[in-house]
Structure 1
Amino acid sequence: MKTITKLALSNNKKNKTRSVLVMVAVFLTMTLLSAIATFGYSTIKYEKLNAEKFYGDYYGMYVGVAEDQIHSMEQRSEFAEVGRAASVGEVENKSRLALSWMGEKALEMTNLKEQLETGVFPEKENEIAGPEEFFEKLGYPEAKQGDKIKLRFRRNNQETYRDADFVVSGITKSPVELENQSYAAYVSEDFYKAVYKNGERAFNAYFKFSEEVQVNAETVEMTAKDLAEECGINPSQTVINTYYTFWALDPGMETILGCVVIALIVCLFSVLVIYNIFQVGIIQKIQEYGKIRALGTTRKQMRKLVFREGMTLALPAIIPGMIAGAGITVAFMHYWLEKSQSVMGREAYTDFSMVSVPLLLLCAAVSLLAVWAALKKPMKLVAKISPVEAIRFQGDGSKRRKGFRKGKRQMSVGTMMTANLAINRKRTVVTILTMGLSCVLFVVISNFTGNISTKYDAKKQVPYGQFQIALDYDLSDTAYPENNLDSILQNNPFDDAFLQALEEIDGVTEVRLQNILYARDAEGNLQSVGVLGKEEFEDEAYQGSLKGTVDYDKAAKEDAFIYGWSYFIEESGYDIGDQIQMELGDKDRTVSMEGEMQGAFGSSNMDWMITEDTYRKLGFTEDNPGMIWVDCKEADCAKVEAEIQNLLEGKEHYELSSYLGALETAESTLGMFEMLAYALLFLVGLIAFMNMANTMIISIITRKRELGVLQALGMTNRQLNGMLRNEGLLFTLGSVMIALAAGMPLGYALFRYGREHGYFGLDVYHVPLAEIMCMILILAVLQMGLSFILSRNVKKESIVERIRYQE
């Protein structure tokens, strides 16, 4: 037994190249496996420990339910707790401010009590609590507990505003400040009952299920809707606390499954790499193994010899790989969680250990299992060959007849390359397949990460320029009809003088408009109609999930309508192909228009869209801006924004947004997710590089004798370099073709899955050209670089030494 171990160690010491490559492969495999395991474990544990603190411990709520329906809920044993809350109304202000009431149980179930910085939540009819920003928007920047404030509010847009006096009872934690952020303050139950009489009250009923209701993250919504019907509540009024139920009711199965799939792919590639290294090395050493066999070694001992060669190389790489993978992941998770805490305005999370020793030991066992799987065929090969066959072995005898090279009068670099690849067809195919499969995962993940973009998300909010001035209007305000779109357009707040003043601001490079019309349907309902030019019509910011036919030329020719929101098309009462009759108007005139509803945009700012051509054909010759985009250099943004604010002073019914503000908002929600996705892409790229480097090194080193013979017959160093370079480029081309053929369909399927499940930053699919071109460029450079370096190393030895080479 000791003799076999010593022999294995001796072989490993002699075959330094193979030994180093195997140890690097095992180290990287262990690093990746421990990183994946630590990330999955820490993510699940973090969310489970903090789900209640971050998302509340309620399963969901029923929106707009009546008193008797809540009584029905409280009488059913399926509900462990029921909490009440209600929307009280909106506050008169340029910013979006709202009043709400939360009952005691609702405050507990939503963890709002934890958000209280000073004071208490309202108990008396004249008390109010809210964030500092709420009071600041009302003109009370230094508001504190005990201060008196005044505001005007109304219950809905069918009523006029009324005055109300309050005393500040408490200050809540400020939410993350986003552009055009809305703020809510809380009033007492007495105030809510004073504003809404019996029969007018509509509650949001928060609920938790009792233990007898067996649900998981997949079934909780269906169960909640079934119970809603039992209580006389419309199931469509159900809103599930998705994040809490996912982590509280589901043991992170999606996370676990994702980590397991990635780990299995890592293991598969590692098995291929280690197998290639050993298989090629053993074929080159068949005669040596035959001599050992001739000395009386049994088949079982030969298998043990190869097994111990592999394991004695794998074991020293396990612990460093484990420490590297776990250490890098823990550092990343600490950074990520601290960043999330500051970006999302969360309170401090419950601390926990991110490392699971049993899980890391399992990763070590999996890594060793991968090495064992890679060694199985080489072990079988060595054990099967008889001593006589091994000593007489001169290559792959089974393929010798197919391996004759066809003679030629003249040989060139290209013909020598194709001749070599032809004589080693199996090795060529295996090399291209293994490299291609390594790159498939890269292409799949890049289809996902390449479509996550904070800049793209920001451009959806502000599609052009640096600033966007949008009309802020209502469509059904009966109490203040001057807030409705038709009245606003008739007053024309963005007239020619205003537009000219914008263009004259120092630093402004472009002012761009999107016209808007108001429309009334057959029932007299007021709606908005946007006017798009061809460029805007085809802009991806509007496209999203298109339905029907959305074609500018066709819509312009046939004067068609395009619905603004494909997701809500069923609720609109219209369908693709319907004939739409509308009365369209601006500040001066109204025009009747009838046209086909040809399609629907994924998302837009208006109810309907028509083309610029149709707009002009209808006789609207002047501009009616509903959206204005102002562009300037980024360095001039602060100065230009201040000038725009001055021009807007005294104007109403507008909302000013900036691209940089929208980008900051997108980064606060998508930035960490994007970082995580690209970290995964980096790991996948590392796998592809590991496989490619190992394959190329073994391919060239094991042909050292053959290259020496070719140079002895007259091949120049330049021709040698060219042949190896072209072989590398052929490997790259084949790998890329496999990666694209398999990776693009799988990547698109992953993108569709992510979008359908509401993953952040995914809307319109883009082919990830940048990532793919980067992969191709890196592969090509690395292939040529490795070929050049290895050919230089080969040429350092004399031709005689190379011909006598016996690794």
Structure 2
Amino acid sequence: MYKVRNQKVVRRLSFRSFTASRTRNMVAILAIALTTILFTTLFTVIISLNYTSQQQTMRMVGGYSHGGFKYLTFEQVEQLSKHPLVKEFGYSVMLAMPDKEPFTKRQVEMRYGTDTAAKMYFCNPTTGRMPREKKEIAMDTAVLDLLGVPYKVGEEITLPYTFEGKAVVDTFTLSGYWESDPVARASEVWLSKEYVLEKLDGYNPSLDNNMFGTWSLDIMFANSKHIEKSLQTIAQDNGYTIDDSSTDNFLDYGVNWAYTSTHYENGEQMKMTIALIAGLGFIIFVGYLIIYNIFGISVMNDMHFYGLLKTIGTTKRQIKRIIRYQGLMLSVIGIPIGLCFGYVLGNSFVKIMVSSLSNKTTYVTFNSWIFIGSSFFALLTVMISCSKPGKMAAKVSPIEAVRYSEGNQNSNKRMKKEKKGKHGARIYRMAIANVRRNKGKTTLVIVSLTLSLVLFNTIFSFTKGFSMDRLLDRFVISDYLLGSAKYFQANLRSDDDGVSESFIEEVESKGYTTRSGRIYQSNGIAQARFTQDELVEYCARWGGSEYVEYIKSLFASGDNEMFWYIDIYGLDDYPLEKMTLVEGDVSKIEDSDTKGIIQIVGEDDYGNPETETIIKNVGEKLIIHYVDELEYDADNNLIEKRSHDVEYTIVATMMMPNAMSTRSYGSPQFALPSNSYLKDAGNSTTMAYMLDIDDTKIKEMEEFISSYTKNVEKDMDYESKKYMEDEFSNYKNMFLLVGGGVTVVITIIGILNFVNTMITSIQTRKREFAVLQSIGMTGKQLRMMVMIEGLFYTGAALIVACIIGSIVNVVVLQSFESMLWFYQYEYSIVAIVALAPVFILLGVGLPAIVYKSMVRKSLVERMRTTD
């Protein structure tokens, strides 16, 4: 065999065949673009959500470094930073954390750090520069606001802080500043190296548990994979360990858990990979449905053309290449269109999802892998879709190709089997016979239409199951819950971070309240005596084996009991009514002889008591050690100055809604009536204030409290039933919008498939219709026949969708009731029924429109048409 250089000829034939099928090209380009939109949207959502999550977490954590070492000497910083795995590093040392006015509501860290460290902390000056001279300083706008200093480089700043237990006040010159980040938990204040080292000269870091005076080294590696392993390698290569804290060469370290790869190392990678593969496979299948159908129909229409090519010597490989070239040319046009629209749509979905789940910022990333991955999989889908039609065109012999018409392979067999009817041909029988000509094509059209119907019904039914009642029962205990901003946001309350009396008075002065009550609680004022077995069993349920060993080590030799920190509440009657009895008799709490106390257990997502958190049995005694006053000794250690013990009897175990708790875990929890709490604990800080109001005044109260917390007492905040309802509605709408957007694209693909099928089916049968008319069939009968054909496609899709939609409802959606506490299953195919008239109208109307455009030509002209 001779090799002939015919690539140019094949490409020319492919191009001319391509330009001759304009209608096919437009539909195919639209189909490829829609498929690419799906791929690009998927990649954009996954990558952008991951990037957004990382950025938000990094800002909350306080930096973007991969990890680092803490509590170092400067010599260790120099030693560790020279390791070849380290690609970039920054270091810093903390001098103090001022906690007096005006910094009682804001955590501020005074440090010296390198320029790189400042960038890693997202705290590098955007105006001005980092401190260089001894008395220069740089800070964010939040600290400037607290100090009442204007945003201007060169301003004099007087900064009070405590160092070695002594009050220090110093004056600095502002060298730079930057906009404060609302997500950040702390503000950095940068000082010069000369100033900090002078202050730390001779200072012993152990006095403050190494918080001040030790160095931190923040590291960037080549990538974020295996961060902990890389830190371990650096430590070991320099003669240190990060595994055993009891050794002299132990180094404390940290891994930035903002990076997704740190979660992959914990086993999440497989789940993410499976989800991504499932999404890609689904989109490839959806795209294949229409692109294969387009090329399949095109090959059938051009079968005579391919037969003529084979008569002049064109090989099977060349015919496949012609079809493949056409797919590539269509992809060159369709894929870029899909990339642009998909990227915009994907980022829109990300913004909707992030804003529905939180009030955090969305970070848009222009990641090249979005476009590379989308282009590759879109092109792969096109090539897969072109494969079978190419084989079909290559296999047919020249004689069969010249005589080919759609479905003729089986028509003779059917004609032999068919018997003559008594009443002649029926229109609906002819329509069904036409639909059955190509069962593969019919199946693809029905499947593509069914897919969009089932997907839409599933999303609609899923969101319909979101139960507002379950949400409110779980998260809302009253119309309003008042508290400090720190209580709701950061859980960094001190004893002074309660609800201000002025806030409560202003709210009550409106006269809208029907029920109200206080929840008292204060941090670190109480300990209770437990046995070693009680503590070990309690901590083992949530702490792990290492923590259990630590608990055991705290018991002195021979001792079986010790005091352990607890959370203790004081409850007014109204919040006490919101608790659920697990066991015991809560009425005994008011018995002065009993001196009763309530043991609190948490509730799971389904309202069941978390009995594993029970540490004492009802009827047992509990001794609580209250700390009345604390002071610092000569070594700067905190010691008790005054305290007292009270013995109680546990009269009941009750569940407390999380919304009215400290919203933290780890310590045993107990509760007393308010009068007992105030008497025994000696602390009157109101952690939260709950109230119900007149339903007709909800709008007025919402406006008042919102305005008050924004403009008057900015360190106060609140939660409301209305706010939770709005948040839940946003969450529900997010699923509808995002899922609905994807469904719309898939529905368009399904409708396109149907449109393409009907147009090509009618156009390729123009001569056949003309023959039928020539032997007496009327135009009205022909129009009725094609309308019945279209109705068969959409009707079959609706019936199949009802069956599959019901199966998905029962098998898949019903299982969510046990997985999602806020979900309440309800069987529904309402969405399919609602769309039925639209699909029926489409099935009847589209064929009628196509037929009308066909019959504009005369019967003689259509009789002369050759396929």
Q: Counterpart of 1:396 in 2: which secondary structure?
A: helix
Shift of 1:527: 0.9
Q: Residue 378 of structure 1 is aligned with which of 368, 392, 398? A: 392
> Which residue is 2:757 aligned to?
698
Secondary structure of the equivalent of 2:225?
A: coil
Q: For the Cα contact (< 8 Å) 1:443–1:743, is it kept in 2?
A: no
After TM superposition, list the pairs within 5 Å mapping 1:253-264 onto structure 2.
none
- Counterpart check, 1:527 vs 2:583: no
Q: Per-residue deviation at 1:731?
A: 0.8
Q: Structure 2 counterpart of 1:238, which letter?
A: Y
Match status 1:275 vs 2:280: no
SS across alignment from 1:230: coil
What CA distance in whole angstroms lies between the structure 1 residues aligned with 2:370 and 2:464?
32
Q: 1:101 aligns with which of 80, 87, 111?
A: 111
1:596-640 deviation line (CA, Å, top 9, x unaligned): 698997996434799xxx989999999977244799777886654
Distance 1:142-1:294 versus aligned 2 partners, 3 A rule: closer
Cross-structure match for 1:221: 228
Does the 8 Å CA contact 1:311/1:368 hold for their aligned counterparts?
Answer: no
1:135 and 2:178 correspond: no
Write the distance in 2 (CA, Å) between the matches of 1:557 and 1:419: 77
> In the alignment, which residue of structure 2 is the partner of 1:606?
663
How many Å apart are 1:534 and its aligned residue? 13
Looking at structure 2, the residues matched to 110 and 646 of structure 1 have their Cα atoms a distance apart, in angstroms, of 34
Do the aligned partners of residues 521 and 260 (structure 1) sit closer, same or farther apart at CA in structure 2, a change above 3 Å counting? same
Tell whether the 8 Å contact from 1:146 to 1:169 is kept in structure 2 after alignment: yes
Q: Is the 8 A contact 2:483 2:716 kept in 1?
A: yes
Q: Which residue in 2 is equivalent to 1:369?
A: 383
Is 1:151 paired with 2:190? no
CA drift of 1:310 comes to: 7.0
CA distance in 2: counterparts of 1:600 and 1:466, whole angstroms = 14
* In structure 2, distance between residues paired with 1:200 and 1:413: 97
* Residue equivalent to 1:548: none
Change (3 A) 1:73 1:617: same
Q: From 187, 190, 196, give the equivalent of 1:183.
A: 187
Confirm or deny: 8 A CA contact 2:31 2:287 kept in the other structure. Answer: yes
Query: CA shift at 1:789, angstroms?
Result: 2.8
The question of whether the paired residues in 2 share the 8 Å contact of 1:271 and 1:373 is answered with: no
Answer whether contact 1:147 1:167 (CA < 8 A) is retained: yes
Letter in 2 for 1:689: I
Look up the match of 1:656: 717
Give the drift of 1:681.
Answer: 7.3
> Per the alignment, do residues 468 and 196 of structure 1 end up closer, same or farther by CA in structure 2, a change over 3 Å counting?
farther
Give me the whole-angstrom Cα distance separating, in 1, the residues matched to 2:808 and 2:220: 48
Alignment CA distance shift 1:309-1:296 (3 Å) = closer
The amino acid that maps onto 1:525 is Y
Per-residue CA shift, 1:61-116, capped at 9, x if unaligned?
Answer: 234x3649947964995775673433732422452232332344873673667326
8 Å Cα contact 1:576/1:599 also seen in 2: no
Contact conserved, 1:87 with 1:100, CA < 8 A, in 2?
Answer: yes
- SS of match in other structure, 2:142: helix
When structure 1 is superposed on structure 2, of 88-97 and 144-153 the one drifting more is 144-153
| Local SS of the residue matching 2:206 | coil
Cα gap change, 1:141/1:561 in structure 2, threshold over 3 Å: closer, same or farther? Answer: same
Aligned to 1:686: 745
> For residues 275 and 511 of structure 1, do their structure 2 counterparts lie closer, same or farther at Cα, with a shift above 3 Å needed?
farther
The CA distance in 2 between the partners of 1:657 and 1:4, in whole Å, is 72
Query: Cα distance, 1:790 vs. partner?
Result: 1.0
CA shift for structure 1 position 137: 1.7
SS at match of 1:114: coil
Q: Distance in 2 between matches of 1:184 and 1:177?
A: 13
Aligned counterparts, 1:419-568, within 5 A:
429-436=443-450, 468-470=482-484, 483=495, 499=504, 501-505=506-510, 515=519, 521-522=528-529, 523=563, 525-529=565-569, 561-563=600-602
Which residue among 131, 155, 169 is the counterpart of 1:121?
131
Distance 2:520 2:422 in 1: 75
Structure 1 window deviating more from structure 2 (198-207 vs 623-632): it is 623-632
Q: Number of aligned pairs?
A: 725
Q: CA deviation at 1:130?
A: 1.6
SS of the equivalent of 1:199 reads helix
Q: Secondary structure at the match of 1:702?
A: helix
Q: Distance in 2 between matches of 1:447 and 1:154?
A: 61
- Judging changes above 3 Å, is the alpha-carbon distance between structure 1 residues 731 and 344 closer, same or farther for their aligned structure 2 residues? closer
Residues 1:295 and 1:225: Cα distance change in structure 2 (over 3 Å): closer
Quote how far apart the aligned CAs of 1:260 are: 8.5
Which amino acid in 1 is paired with 2:749? Answer: M
What is the CA–CA distance in structure 2 between the aligned matches of 1:90 and 1:774, rounded to whole Å?
Answer: 61
Percent of aligned pairs with the same residue? 13
1:317 equivalent among 291, 314, 330:
330
The equivalent of 1:91 in structure 2 is 99
Q: Paired residue for 1:478?
A: none
CA drift of 1:60 comes to 1.0
Alignment of 1:591-630 (within 5 A): 592-593=649-650, 605-607=662-664, 626-628=688-690
Q: Which amino acid aligns with 2:507?
A: L
Is 1:241 matched up with 2:248? no
The residue number in structure 1 matching 2:533 is none
RMSD: 7.5
Alignment match, 1:787: 843
Measured in 2, the distance between the counterparts of 1:617 and 1:148 equals 45
| 1:569-617 residue CA offsets vs partner (Å, 9 max, x unmatched) | xxx9x9456546767999xx9964366698997996434799xxx9899
Deviation string 1:655-694 (CA, Å, 9 cap, x unpaired) is 325789999xx99xx99xx999977974674244213431
Residue in 1 that maps onto 2:551 = none
Aligned to 1:21: 27
Determine which structure has more spread, i.e. the larger CA radius of gyration.
2
The CA distance in 2 between the partners of 1:198 and 1:449, in whole Å, is 56
Deviation at 1:219, TM superposition (A): 1.6
Residue 728 of structure 1 and its aligned partner are, at CA, apart by: 1.7
SS at match of 1:129: strand
Distance 1:28 1:11 in 2: 23
Q: What displacement does 1:136 show?
A: 1.9
Return the TM-score normalized by structure 2. Answer: 0.58
When residues 534 and 245 of structure 1 are mapped into structure 2, their CA distance, relative to the original with a 3 A threshold, is same
Query: 1:620, 1:309 → 2: CA distance?
Result: 83
Closer, same or farther: CA 98–422 of 1 in aligned 2, 3 Å: same
Judging changes above 3 Å, is the alpha-carbon distance between structure 1 residues 463 and 82 closer, same or farther for their aligned structure 2 residues? farther
* Distance change in 2, residues 1:279/1:238 (3 Å): same
8 A contact 1:98–1:183 mirrored in 2: yes
| Counterparts in 2 of 1:638 and 1:765: CA distance versus 1, 3 Å | closer
Rounded to whole Å, the distance in 1 between the matches of 2:821 and 2:615 is 26
| Mapped contact 1:97–1:182 kept (Cα < 8 A) | yes
Measured at CA, do residues 381 and 77 of structure 1 come closer, stay the same or move farther in structure 2, by a change above 3 Å? closer
Give the 3 Å change call, closer, same or farther, for CA 137–733 of structure 1 in structure 2.
Answer: farther
The structural deviation recorded for 1:149 is 2.0
1:319 to 1:276, Cα distance in 2 relative to 1, 3 A: closer
Amino acid at match of 1:240: V
Q: Please state how far the C-alpha of 1:27 moved relative to its aligned partner.
A: 4.3
- The residue type equivalent to 2:797 in the other structure is F
Structure 2, unaligned runs of 5 or more: 1-5, 530-562, 587-597, 627-645
Asked whether the equivalents of residues 307 and 372 of structure 1 are also in contact (C-alpha less than 8 Å), the reply is no
Whether the aligned pair in 1 keeps the contact of 2:28 and 2:330 (CA below 8 Å) is no
Structure 1 position 173, deviation (Å): 0.5
